Amino acid sequence: MRDVRRDAVLREMGLAPVWRLRAGGEGAAEAIEVLPEPESAPVAAGADQGGGAWSPPAQIVPAEPVPEVRSMRAAIPVRDLIPRAAAATAPVAAPDRRDDGDPARAGRIARMGWDELESDIGACRACRLCEKRRQAVPGVGDRSAEWMFVGEGPGSEEDQRGEPFVGAAGKLLDAMLSAIDLKRGENVYIANAVKCRPPHNRTPQADEIAICHPYLARQIELVRPRVLIALGRPAALALLDAEISIGASRGRVFHRGEIPVVVTYHPAYLLRNQADKAKAWEDLCFARRLMRELAEKA
Ligand code: SF4
């Protein structure tokens, strides 16, 4: 049966004609199916889609069809998408090394519970990003989530509201979550590599990411997600302690300790590069198949 709501969400992501996961046969991976235009009208901005109101920003408009999303990769089981050598040599984070600048601080943060952690983040002045922030933005969501999404840093709206991903990029992230049947706050935790807004929304610098890393590390330890999703290069740097190219790393599974890490584009980047939404959709499908395989093995 057609899932009209998800079709509408994918359409709002600019993924038209709509692509939808199609269950394969026994033991087979899902494939991506290209669907015809839906009979229903596109969901209007602000319309209640049955899962709560969603107001896509003006920038999120249906893009031109991207015909080449049906790739061979989409039909290959996740286990075959993990390059054996690459998986073995994928960078593994070394939080202790990055925390050498102040091991006492890192050790103190590593023992914190949620309340103390969020309070400490709120009062933190460990790096220059504290100077321009209105408030620190620790993270949001289900503290026992299987999925944890990590972005790069708060933007203007996030800085005002104290919650990550609430601006235009946040709306797109919500649509991306919805497209794979996830929802903010339900089995999903969202955090950033740095907790304070970089001035003029610039990319956080490596030293800022390193200084803030103990907070992210503790959040991951407390949530204990089954899969981590790195949204953009700064997030990948924070999670993997390695400079990687997102384009060259898609479809691979990295590891942070025992936790698999999948990388994809940051929603803010996707707002500026709508054609790459198709790749992000592939990455989410990949992550979902990985999650299912992990669940089957558990
Ligand atoms: S970005 Fe992180 S390390 Fe820097 S002041 Fe904010 S909370 Fe502290």
Query: Which segment of 36-40, 75-79, 193-197 scores lowest on mean pLDDT?
Result: 36-40
Is residue 210 in contact with ligand 1, taking CB distance under 6 Å?
Answer: no
In sequence order, the 6+-apart residues with CB closer than 8 A to the CB of 124 are: 130, 136, 195, 196, 215
Instruction: Note whether 77 and 28 are within 8 A (CB).
Output: yes
What pLDDT shows up at residue 102?
A: 85
Is residue 284 in contact with ligand 1, taking CB distance under 6 Å?
Answer: no
Q: Is the pLDDT of residue 41 over 70?
A: no
Per-residue pLDDT of 76-122, as tens digits, reads: 334 333 433 333 334 434 444 455 578 899 999 999 999 999 999 99
What pLDDT shows up at residue 133?
A: 97
Radius of gyration of the chain, Cα coordinates, nearest whole angstrom: 19
pTM of the predicted model as reported, rounded to 2 decimal places:
0.75
CA 22–ligand 1 middle distance (angstroms): 43
Instruction: Note whether 188 and 179 are within 8 A (CB).
Output: no
Quick one: tokens of 249? 């790393």
CA 157–ligand 1 middle distance (angstroms): 17
Q: Is the pLDDT of residue 203 over 70?
A: yes
Instruction: Note whether 227 and 148 are within 8 A (CB).
Output: yes
Q: Which fold has domain 103-297?
A: Uracil-DNA Glycosylase, subunit E (3.40.470)
Is residue 136 in contact with ligand 1, taking CB distance under 6 Å?
Answer: yes
Residue with the smallest CA separation from ligand 1 atom 3 is: 212
Atom number in ligand 1 closest to CA 194:
1
- pLDDT band at 204; cut points 50, 70, 90: very high
**CA 175 to chain CA mean position, Å:** 12
Is residue 124 in contact with ligand 1, taking CB distance under 6 Å?
Answer: yes
CA 105–ligand 1 middle distance (angstroms): 12
Tell the burial category of 170 from Cβ atoms under 10 Å away from its Cβ (0-12, 13-18, 19+). buried
What pLDDT shows up at residue 12?
A: 62
Ligand 1 pocket test, pick from 109, 195, 203, 209 with the greatest ligand atom count within 8 Å of Cβ, gives 195
Domain boundaries, the chain: 103-297
80-86: which pairs have CB atoms within 8 A and are 24 or more residues apart?
81/251, 81/252, 81/253, 81/286, 82/252, 82/253, 83/252, 86/252
- pLDDT band at 298; cut points 50, 70, 90: confident
CA 121–ligand 1 middle distance (angstroms): 7
Atom number in ligand 1 closest to CA 204:
1
pLDDT greater at residue 45 or residue 246: 246
Instruction: Note whether 60 and 11 are within 8 A (CB).
Output: no
Return phi, psi of residue 64, to 5°: -60, 145
Residue 190's identity, in one-letter code, is I
Angstrom distance (rounded) from CA 10 to CA 266: 17
Query: Which segment of 4-8, 19-23, 207-211, 273-277 scores lowest on mean pLDDT?
Result: 19-23
Instruction: Note whether 179 and 281 are within 8 A (CB).
Output: yes
Angstrom distance (rounded) from CA 212 to CA 198: 12
Residue with the smallest CA separation from ligand 1 atom 2 is: 212
What pLDDT shows up at residue 297?
A: 87
CA 130–ligand 1 middle distance (angstroms): 6
- pLDDT band at 207; cut points 50, 70, 90: very high
What pLDDT shows up at residue 10?
A: 64
- How much is the average pLDDT of 157-176? 94
- How much is the average pLDDT of 58-83? 32
CA 275–ligand 1 middle distance (angstroms): 33
Name the residue with tokens 């408009």: 61
Is residue 227 in contact with ligand 1, taking CB distance under 6 Å?
Answer: no
CB atoms within 10 A of CB 207: 12
